[in-house]
Amino acid sequence: MGKLRVATIGAGYFSQFHHEAWAGMEEVDLVAVCDLDVEKARGLAELWRIPATYTDASEMLDAEKPDLLDIIAPPAAHLELIRLAAERGVPAAICQKAFCRSLAEAQEATRVAEAADMRLIVHENFRFEPWHGEVKRRIDERLLGDLYQVGFRLRPGDGQGPRAYLDRQPYFQKMERFLIHETAIHLIDVFRFFLGEVATVTARLARLNPVIAGEDAGYVIFEFRSGARALFDGNRLVDHRADNRRLTMGEMLVEGSTGILRLDGYARLFHRAMGDNDERELAYEWSNTGFAGDSVRRLQRHVVEHLTRQAPEMNTAREYLANLRVEEAVYESASSGRTIEVAP
């Protein structure tokens, strides 16, 4: 088949990583970019030699007829943009997380896409970060034996003061659901990638910076159907040891019956065998380019491989709803003070 015609919607901060990745793929023609801010769209078009810019998504879809639409807009726009693409017969779309504003909206977006036979993939890039892929590989080869628990300390250090998030993603300040819906959803997906399906959650959330609308710190305990557990310990106001604190966003421990894996802020993985006091660093291949180990390109490459070579796919909208069911349980637990069962 010929090159995939890819069009994008959204020219905000994070779109730079999407466009850089698309521009470097031989199988792709990046044909158009759309944003309400025409100057932002033109800036991207000039940088990546994109031939057309639009401020109206419907006009772009009608004119360009893309094979793949990449939705890089904020969650409030997701459902309507997915409707527009489905109505026009766009064969496939990728939608950034946070996927829609709620589970109900995400369910409707999924229904709309499926009714139109449009492949819809959620851009959940943490699963494609190379260190998480390497941890999954080590788990599967049973380096750690029986897996007991995973813990992640989220510490980006970007949430203090009245200007928190304004220079990069200002809409963060107005999100009524923030830490879990925008950020911890990444770790919910990673935990499920490692441990399977969640049975119950227990959560305590807090807002530490008064200038934002939503929560920015909290603890969540996940119990899995396998019997394993996970702990998310998040605080966006505190940092961790790293040259680039957005590389891993924090630190992780993965603990099993025969050993422990530790991920640090430099994306280094260390293994310690049970009963041993010495760690050894585990070498693995990754590139410190793009965003977080080139995870955006890795996800987009995964989608291209599926569309052009029928390779297996991950993170379909239907599959991703499981993450949002867990998210809903987290917020219910935090508001009620109870442990909440997650619906299968």
The residue to which tokens 């989608």 are assigned: 303
CA pair distance 187, 243, nearest whole angstrom: 21
Q: 50 pLDDT exceeds 90?
A: yes
Q: State pLDDT tens for residues 156-200.
A: 999 999 999 999 999 999 999 999 999 999 999 999 999 999 999
Task: Write a three-state SS string for 191-254.
Answer: HHHHHCCEEEEEEEEECCCCCCCCCCEEEEEEEECCCCEEEEEEECCCCCCCCCCCCCCEEEEE
Q: State pLDDT tens for residues 208-240.
A: 999 999 999 999 999 999 999 999 999 999 999
The 68-71 sheet, strands edge to edge: 52-54, 28-34, 4-9, 68-71, 92-96, 119-123
Mean pLDDT, rounded, for 286-312: 94
Percentage, residues of the chain above pLDDT 70: 100
Q: 260 pLDDT exceeds 70?
A: yes
Q: 202 pLDDT exceeds 90?
A: yes
Q: Are 70 and 44 a contacting pair, CB within 8 Å?
A: no
What residues does 261 pair with on adjacent strands?
A: 254, 271
| Structural domains of the chain in order of their starting residue, each with its CATH number | 4-123+297-313 (3.40.50.720), 127-282+323-341 (3.30.360.10)
Q: State pLDDT tens for residues 60-91.
A: 999 999 999 999 999 999 999 999 999 999 99
121: Cα within 13 Å, side-chain hemisphere: 23
pLDDT given at position 329? 98
Q: 146 pLDDT exceeds 70?
A: yes
pLDDT given at position 1? 59
Q: How confident is the model at residue 312 (pLDDT cuts 50, 70, 90)?
A: confident
Q: 326 pLDDT exceeds 90?
A: yes
Q: 344 pLDDT exceeds 90?
A: no
Mean pLDDT, rounded, for 331-335: 98
Q: How confident is the model at residue 205 (pLDDT cuts 50, 70, 90)?
A: very high
pLDDT given at position 246? 95
Pairing of strands 259-263, 269-273: antiparallel
pLDDT given at position 2? 82
Q: How confident is the model at residue 265 (pLDDT cuts 50, 70, 90)?
A: very high
CA pair distance 127, 129, nearest whole angstrom: 6
CA pair distance 73, 87, nearest whole angstrom: 19
Neighbours of 187 (CB within 10 A): 26
CA pair distance 202, 168, nearest whole angstrom: 31
- For the chain, what is the mean pLDDT? 97
Which are the contacts of 35, defined by CB distance < 8 A and separation ≥ 6? 9, 10, 11, 12, 41, 44, 53, 55
The residue to which tokens 């965003």 are assigned: 291
Mean pLDDT, rounded, for 121-144: 98
pLDDT given at position 343? 85
